[in-house]
Amino acid sequence: MGTQPTKESDLDRLRDVEGVTCVFNTQQDKDMEYWKVDFESVKRHMKKRDVKLERYPFVDFSADSLRDGLPAAAAALDASLRAGDVVYLHCTAGMGRSPGLAIAYMYWFLDEYDTLDGAYEGLTSIRPCGPKMESIRGATCDILASAPGAWPIKPLKRDLRDSEGTTLSPTEKSDIQNKLRR
């Protein structure tokens, strides 16, 4: 997880040094345009290097955008990892959107994290960043409240108590995984 790859050498390093086979881009087009990234060139080089591209654009600094998009993005991330891909997650600076996706994945899919605080600490202890925990918590509640087979998962239209969505029982974790893996 980190910053946006902006040139061929960035992608070459990801592929050759880190073994990356799939890049998850959580930026909007306007983010790349602002930083003058030639995204078409980046995509061509990814194809040349046999690196898959997944796009899940979130609005930067928007808790609602992150909350709404996390279930689909985490489901796709899980599918890529289960297929054996080595994944690089990025937004512009690697400080909000991509860490938010990483933490949601860790919380929902990895057995070592039963609490959102645990997943958050697990990531932020190795990469200081500030993803919006309330987005992950809200998305967790949205998934748990959704009907089996419902897609896309719609955000709840109510206020959430602070404690909701912060600790998952094994049954709740399994429910989330089953809903996102269907």
Annotated catalytic, 91? Answer: yes
113 vs 157: CA distance, rounded Å: 27
At residue 16, φ and ψ (nearest 5 deg) are: -80, -40
Burial code of 121-146, b = ≥16 C-beta within 10 A, e = fewer? ebbeeeeebebbbbbbbbbbbbbbeb
Nearest to 37 by CA among 17, 66, 8: 8
39 vs 172: CA distance, rounded Å: 39
| Three-state DSSP state, 167 | strand
> Of 22, 91, 129, 141, which residue is the catalytic one?
91
Please list the active-site residues: 91
